[in-house]
Amino acid sequence: MYEPQQSAPEQAHGPLAGFTVGVTAARRADELGALLRRRGAAVQHAPALRIVPLADDSELLAATKELLDHAPDVVVATTAIGFRGWVEAADGWGLGDALLDRLRGVELLARGPKVKGAIRAAGLTEEWSPSSESMAEVLERLLAEGVQGRRVAVQLHGEPLPGFVEALREAGAEVVGVPVYRWMPPEDIGPVDRLLDATVSRSVDALTFTSAPAAVSLLNRAEERGLLPELLAALHHDVVPACVGPVTALPLQAHGVDTVQPERFRLGPLVQLLCQELPSRARTLPVAGHRVEIRGHAVLVDGALRPVPPAGMALLRSLARRPGWVVARAELLRALPGAGRDEHAVETAMARLRSALGTPKLIQTVVKRGYRLALDPAADAKYADD
């Protein structure tokens, strides 16, 4: 009977050890990256967008002046950082006191508790906030109150609000968008291209998205480079697309990509979701009396983390597709990236793979035929039956 040997506990290296996660965020990317690295992941950061500095944002200034000149009946604050940024930008333009005075005289709605905190920190008081933190509930309240002929200002934050503005206008409201933190393409597209290449080649195991515009930007860049079909194929089958919430997921879902999302739309739960999702997708095999778990760029042998070079991982994955079966050198050569026709490259990569695994007997050489994983006898029978 197969009994895995006990070794270093997984906690020593973290649940995401051996996986590479792509981060597309511009804002709070450092925080997200730190959370992922703390759990063992390798992080490839490529901000798919850049944020227009508030002090330079002529559209925000124009919207602020319009609200000062023509008072709204209702102001909807959607994000804490956006609301704070708006007030700080107004201060910088010498309009801070005027904006706060204007907001004291309107019906001020806050999307959630963080926004309530930002409103109260500014010396204001919200009239109402939904317990669900849902814009749908905010819309339901406004429509129930009646918005015919009313002027409604909505603090935007780079995120689309599907149906929200349209529904208010159809109900007779005049809607003024306050575009806090507008997104634009990154000035340096190089990191995005490298992340796209890594995704298409399956060198990353997951892509994280914290805003819908970032998803749109990445998809658009893939289309510009002629890589959209390959990107979608990777996200459909091999690379986990992880979104912080349903609004963020919309652009991917429009292309038929199923995403994973945490129940609470926060960075912490997003990382915890990956801590469950990625290890659950790893291939685990009983080999030569050891428990072997194949991850993105590393292998756990009895719980001990063994980093493996890309060529070695390519060979190991080829062997693991048919565990216990002999895989010919010619087939393994085709799996090696850029190896050409020299079968000696297989022997070199195999020697490095065995060394990296630290247990050479995991892989057997079958003379004149190729190599095989030394699958345990009981498991061998199971895979033969399958």
Whole-number average pLDDT of the chain: 88
Q: Are the CB atoms for 251 and 189 separated by under 8 Å?
A: no
- CB atoms under 10 Å from CB of 16, counted, come to 27
Nearest to 213 by CA among 135, 270, 154, 158: 158
Please tell me the least confidently modeled range out of 9-13, 52-56, 237-241.
9-13
Does residue 6 register a pLDDT over 50?
Answer: no
- Comma-separated ranges of CATH 1.10.10.10 domains in the chain: 283-385
Residue 175 has a pLDDT of: 94
User: Taking CA 189 as the corner, what is the angle to CA 185 and CA 191, rounded to the nearest 5 degrees?
Assistant: 120
Q: How far is CA 12 from the centre of its chain?
A: 24
Would you state the pLDDT for residue 162? 64
pLDDT band at 345 (very low <50, low <70, confident <90, very high): confident
Residue 340, pLDDT score: 62
Q: Which of 85, 134, 90, 91 is nearest to 109 (CA)?
A: 134
Q: Distances in Å between the alpha carbon of 367 and those of 48, 314, 375? A: 50, 21, 18
For the chain, percent of residues with pLDDT exceeding 70: 92
pLDDT value at residue 199: 96
Would the pLDDT of 136 be above 80?
yes
Note the Cα 272 to chain centre separation in Å: 12
Per-residue pLDDT at 43: 96
pLDDT score for 7: 41
The CATH T-level fold of domain 54-181 is: Rossmann fold (3.40.50)
Average pLDDT over residues 97-120: 94
Residue 183: predicted pLDDT: 77
Q: For residues 286 and 191, what is the distance between their CA atoms, to the nearest angstrom?
A: 39
Above 80 in pLDDT, residue 53? no
Alpha-carbon gap, residue 51 to 158, rounded angstroms: 9
Question: Torsion over CA of 95, 96, 99 and 101, rounded to 10 degrees?
Answer: -120
What's the confidence (pLDDT) of residue 9? 43
**Confidence label for 384 from pLDDT (cuts 50, 70 and 90):** very low
Rounded distance, CA 357 to CA 258, Å? Answer: 34
Residue 9 contacts residue 33 (beta carbons within 8 Å): no
pLDDT for position 382: 55
Is the Cβ–Cβ distance between 39 and 171 less than 8 Å? Answer: no
Per-residue model confidence (pLDDT) at position 72: 96
Which class in CATH covers the domain with range 10-51+186-281?
A: alpha beta
Residue for token digits 């297989």?
346
Query: What confidence score (pLDDT) does residue 4 get?
Result: 37
Look at residue 148 in the predicted model and tell me its pLDDT. 96
Question: pLDDT for 199-232, tens place per residue?
Answer: 999 999 999 999 888 999 999 999 999 999 999 9
The pLDDT of 255-259, averaged and rounded, is 95
Please give the sequence-ordered ranges of beta strands (E in DSSP) within 234-311, or none if there are none. Answer: 240-243, 283-287, 290-294, 298-301, 304-307
Asked whether the predicted pLDDT for residue 147 surpasses 90, the reply is yes
pTM of the predicted protein model:
0.72
- The pLDDT assigned to 1 comes to 33
Q: What is the model's pLDDT at position 336?
A: 85
- Using pLDDT thresholds of 50, 70 and 90, give the confidence band for residue 179: confident
Stretch(es) of the chain classified as CATH 3.40.50.10090: 10-51+186-281, 54-181
CATH of domain 283-385: 1.10.10.10
pLDDT at 326: 93
Q: What is the pLDDT of residue 383?
A: 52
Confidence of residue 184 (pLDDT cuts 50, 70, 90): confident
Rounded average pLDDT over 51-60:
79
Which is more confident, 385 or 254? 254
